[in-house]
Structure 1
């Protein structure tokens, strides 16, 4: 007669199996995982800083271009026998006579002296120097005046006056902004490629350390998609943590720099930093771009890991089918 199993023993075994913890395929904490997280954080920080810098430069260039395109300048050089005040008034009248000009403002002597103080110092006598005088004309951007006709009238009425429509500066500004954007895109592309290669090497390292587990699971029937999803979940978490940390530090850096510049106005250090690098003010589009970088790097990490694991399992299948390949490997 066969012995009947004790129902209580069966329930105990089932309870032990249920309570037994399931070990993950990829260890949740290891040295390579921490190293990969640090690398992703560094690359995310550099990508976010590059994107923020490119965004600020692009926005500043657009603002400068708008300011330049709204104004033209008429410069009058002092000459012997020239009544400067009468010439300034004549230039202003000629400019306002053309359709498309909204206003014309004569830069007075005090304002001209303030413009020259950084180079000539305070208290200099303008009468002792041949300092040109300016008339700033505001124009309608949608329907600008005829610059050639203005130049011709100025040449006839006030030969010492010259018109500058700032087109050369605007063209240079647009070219500089485009080159900066292209350089920024190139740098971001290289950083993304470096991050992708780092993820590939880290995934292959994790596969090599757990290759026997992967081979056993695959041999007993585990699908490639299941094994790849386990690696993908682990590396997605690593990529998300690293990218969020790096992007968050970059966003915090822009916020702190902007707050420092706002709270230290009219200081020598702030003036020098602003003159060299401009205002560290990042718009909402810049911060949205940083969030996009975090999401993109995390998704790229997950997708790269899944493709790498799938390719590695295919190599295992080929080696199993052809033992000579395993000997070569």
Structure 2
């Protein structure tokens, strides 16, 4: 009795091949746990770097506003002395200041207001009537820098020698500028460190992907593929991962700054909100801040692609 014919062999053995060796399969897996983890790491690092960049921009903008407000105001200090009429000295100093071009207005601090300025250091409730508390005259300068402070300082020294002195707050402006520059420098350094960490994570992930696809790389070499072809394949894949992670991290940073701005505006009516506004301004990042956040996302994707290509070339060497 004739035996029944054996079942026909499958037309192709492709379903039994490993996923990396199937027809039209990408050289680097497009959707794997390792790829998703790397995209998440890039997104987190981009988010942290964008937060640092935005905070540095807020500090720089607030410092610029502080410097502008401080630079538009100078102070004349009148020291009381024995046998001198303090009110007459104040009137003389104010008249000299009003005569100076570029001075938009003056304000004389009363004796009670001058004493209240000492409360943070001496406390409240003290009787300072017997102390020679200096009196102050603040000058508001016009927007155009036409005031000649050297001439005013010389006029005060000639009219009220040893009594009146002019303070242009140059020391405070220098300290404020140093603080702002230091904060911005720290922010840039943190962003650079985060990008370096991104590059290291990509390098380790690329070496892992190369080790997992060693058979595929050897087959490609056997059929004539050069190192540039293989490096470009890895670069395209990791650049896509970096672009996705950078976009997610940048979007989260933009949302965080927008939410912080809304919360700051909601709290502005209370004392805490007023203190935050005095310290950070309106907590508005501005177009430069948002541009820096988006730029960090692009840089993270570029770093991912470049590091992956260099790692592949070194691995194949």
Q: TM-score range by the shorter chain?
A: 0.7 to 0.9
Confirm or deny that 1:250 pairs with 2:223.
no
Any conservation in 2 of the 1:199–1:305 contact (CA below 8 Å)?
yes
Tell me the alpha carbon deviations over residues 127-177 of structure 1, each in whole angstroms, 9 at most, x when there is no partner: 687654332223466444142x43343244345332101111122222222
Task: State the alpha-carbon separation in 2 of the partners of residues 111 and 49 from structure 1.
Answer: 45
Cα deviation for residue 278 of structure 1 reads 5.2
Q: Secondary structure at the match of 1:174?
A: helix
Confirm or deny that 1:211 pairs with 2:218.
no
Task: State the alpha-carbon separation in 2 of the partners of residues 255 and 117 from structure 1.
Answer: 40
Q: Considering only aligned residues, what root-mean-square deviation do their CA atoms show, in Å?
A: 3.2
Confirm or deny that 1:286 pairs with 2:289.
yes
Please, which runs of 5 or more residues in structure 2 have no aligned partner? 1-10, 13-21
Task: State the alpha-carbon separation in 2 of the partners of residues 236 and 309 from structure 1.
Answer: 13
Confirm or deny that 1:307 pairs with 2:310.
yes
Task: State the alpha-carbon separation in 2 of the partners of residues 65 and 37 from structure 1.
Answer: 42
Look up the match of 2:29. 27
Cα deviation for residue 23 of structure 1 reads 1.5
What number of residue pairs does the alignment pair up?
295
Look up the match of 1:318. none
Task: State the alpha-carbon separation in 2 of the partners of residues 182 and 121 from structure 1.
Answer: 38
Tell me which protein shows more helix as a share of its residues. 1
Q: Quick one: which of 223, 228, 232 aligns to 1:225?
A: 228
Task: State the alpha-carbon separation in 2 of the partners of residues 259 and 86 from structure 1.
Answer: 51
Task: State the alpha-carbon separation in 1 of the partners of residues 218 and 23 from structure 2.
Answer: 21
Relative distance call for 1:292 and 1:163 in structure 2 (3 A) is: same
Tell me the alpha carbon deviations over residues 47-72 of structure 1, each in whole angstroms, 9 at most, x when there is no partner: 11111111122222222222222221
Confirm or deny that 1:47 pairs with 2:42.
no
Task: State the alpha-carbon separation in 1 of the partners of residues 245 and 115 from structure 2.
Answer: 51
Any conservation in 1 of the 2:97–2:103 contact (CA below 8 Å)?
no
Any conservation in 1 of the 2:114–2:136 contact (CA below 8 Å)?
no
Please, which runs of 5 or more residues in structure 1 have no aligned partner? 1-11, 14-19, 316-329
Tell me the alpha carbon deviations over residues 81-103 of structure 1, each in whole angstroms, 9 at most, x when there is no partner: 6555443332121113334x332
Task: State the alpha-carbon separation in 2 of the partners of residues 220 and 21 from structure 1.
Answer: 15
Look up the match of 2:89. 87
Cα deviation for residue 256 of structure 1 reads 1.3
Q: Secondary structure at the match of 1:103?
A: strand
Task: State the alpha-carbon separation in 2 of the partners of residues 267 and 126 from structure 1.
Answer: 33
Task: State the alpha-carbon separation in 2 of the partners of residues 107 and 190 from structure 1.
Answer: 51
Q: Quick one: which of 180, 183, 189 aligns to 1:180?
A: 183
Please, which moves more after superposition, 254-263 or 171-180? 171-180
Relative distance call for 1:281 and 1:160 in structure 2 (3 A) is: same
Any conservation in 2 of the 1:92–1:104 contact (CA below 8 Å)?
no
Any conservation in 2 of the 1:113–1:126 contact (CA below 8 Å)?
no
Any conservation in 2 of the 1:75–1:132 contact (CA below 8 Å)?
yes
TM-score (ref. length: structure 2): 0.80
